[in-house]
Amino acid sequence: MNIIGRYCPTKLTFQILVLLTTSLFFQMAQATGNYLYAEHSAGSTAVISIDPVLPKQGDPFTIKITGQWRDRCIPDQREATYRFSSHDQWSIVVETVTDDDEDCSTEFEPTAFELSIPIESDDWDVFFDGKRAIDILFAVDVPNYSRRAYWEREFDLILGLHEIPPQLYSGFWISEGTPYQGILLQQQGNTVVFYELRYNRVSGEPNWHYASGEFHGNSLNGIAYLINWLSPVYGMNPEYNGFAPWFAPILVQPKEEELLFDPSSSGLKMWGINHISGFVGLANGLERAVRYSYKPWVFGLSEIQLPPVVPDMVGPWDLYGFNGQQLERSYQIEFRTGTKVGDDLYRFSSLDNEWVMDCQVDLSGEGGCNLGNERLGLGFKYTLNRDRNHEDFFYGLRFNGNYATAPLEYTNSAEPDLTGVLLRSGLHLPVLDLQ
């Protein structure tokens, strides 16, 4: 894996990276932090899914957990149990321990594992009220460390929105609480590659981690690497052609065998199109990873290019109206390139001029969009980010880059209000398979 060879930043990007990394070192004492803790086993991954992807309400289904563990003592299927969270009734907690029947390696030797946990029909009455999404948490007790690792994923058991991956802004994201800390992120399909630029909170040393993974629902977990040069070598600066009166050293480009890739865990979670949280763990054992909040970095404005906090609406979309799980209405819309029409106000119009999307978004990334069709007397208004302190948090009124969900309201007719989903064309809602 030639990570260095694959990443060739432009001069501007390199200057920005140097500025960020240098700033991390000098701003260490000012760090306040805006983060949550998450326990993970270094170098381990876990993907939570359900089978079928959208079970019929009241039918049994299976929770499946697959991934890799950092050594041979993988999570034990024989000890796997589930319970409902004591904090709320919209969480299912799957628990197990690592299998320590054999001599476990303390080295990073990832071993594949798979767990299956059947959920019975009677359990629906306990955790599901027909309105809220549910969280499934996967917790593993690791006796060797006397600690617990866990992962989580949100599931929408009405429309199957958990199967629609987010589409994030590719570029720089800045920490909301820690000065000059950030990530450089690139998404292609469901796969995300990002570099985390931060500093060690004890020594003040800058850290630059490479991480990658795939989104499953609103969460991603993967492997991160801290790249160390085993034996740095100095050479002569070639611009002097060997005739310089003084020694002008430069670092020689390292070979892959001269690099040490210390493995760790990484993760991203999406709270809205302009709000994500992420962590990169340490390299040894089971660690407490710090999860920081990030938002897109807006550092240049123009009248032609919209700020990165404005949602990308250009292209074809499908607008659906559901009564429960029954599809009642559907429309096809194709938006032109957006334009700025006022202070923090941006407009996307459809090619047939029947639909208008107005998005009020400030440069911090907060705001929302209002889609309307005057002829149909139809309105669809959604927010861009979720707020845990707002009742909308549980009802999923937000935008993830590929879908938005909010009430579909008819203002000039007796049509009943429906649950609306605006979905980027080419993606598929699992609920449509139940029609």
- Is the confidence at residue 33, as pLDDT, over 60? no
Q: How far apart are CA 315 and CA 424, in angstroms?
A: 8
Which residue, among 314, 299, 3, 5, has the nearest Cα to 171 in the 3D structure? 299
The pLDDT value recorded for residue 41 is: 61
The pLDDT value recorded for residue 261 is: 77
pLDDT tens digits for range 288-315: 567 889 999 998 887 778 999 999 999 9
Poorest-confidence range of 285-289, 353-357, 430-434? 285-289
| First-to-final CA distance of the chain | 46
Q: Tell me how crowded residue 138 is: count the other CB atoms within 10 A of its CB.
A: 25
pLDDT tens digits for range 138-186: 988 877 666 677 888 989 999 999 999 999 999 999 997 887 789 999 9
pLDDT tens digits for range 190-206: 999 999 887 766 777 77
* Mean pLDDT of all residues in 5-28: 34
Alpha-helix residue ranges (DSSP H) falling in 169-221 = none
The pLDDT value recorded for residue 223 is: 85
Chain centroid to Cα 208, Å, comes to: 19
Q: Tell me how crowded residue 146 is: count the other CB atoms within 10 A of its CB.
A: 8
pLDDT tens digits for range 406-430: 999 988 777 778 999 999 999 999 9
The pLDDT value recorded for residue 230 is: 67
Domain limits, the chain: 1-297, 315-434
The pLDDT value recorded for residue 34 is: 33
Q: How far apart are CA 55 and CA 164, in angstroms?
A: 16
Residue 8 pLDDT level (bands cut at 50, 70, 90) = very low
Q: Using an 8 Å Cβ cutoff, are 221 and 46 in contact?
A: yes
- Is the confidence at residue 258, as pLDDT, over 80? no
The pLDDT value recorded for residue 17 is: 40
- Is the confidence at residue 127, as pLDDT, over 70? yes
Specify the CATH architecture of the domain 315-434: Beta Barrel (2.40)
Residue-by-residue DSSP string for 214-240:
EEETTEEEEEEEEEEESS--EEE-GGG
Q: Which residues pair with 82 in a beta bridge?
A: 94
pLDDT tens digits for range 213-235: 999 988 898 888 877 776 655 55
Average pLDDT, whole number, for the chain? 79
Q: What b/e string do you get for 84-122 counting C-beta neighbours within 10 Å, with b at 16 or more?
A: eeeeeebbbbbbbbbbeeeebeeebebeebebebebeee
Range ranked top by mean pLDDT from 170-184, 190-204, 243-257, 380-394: 170-184
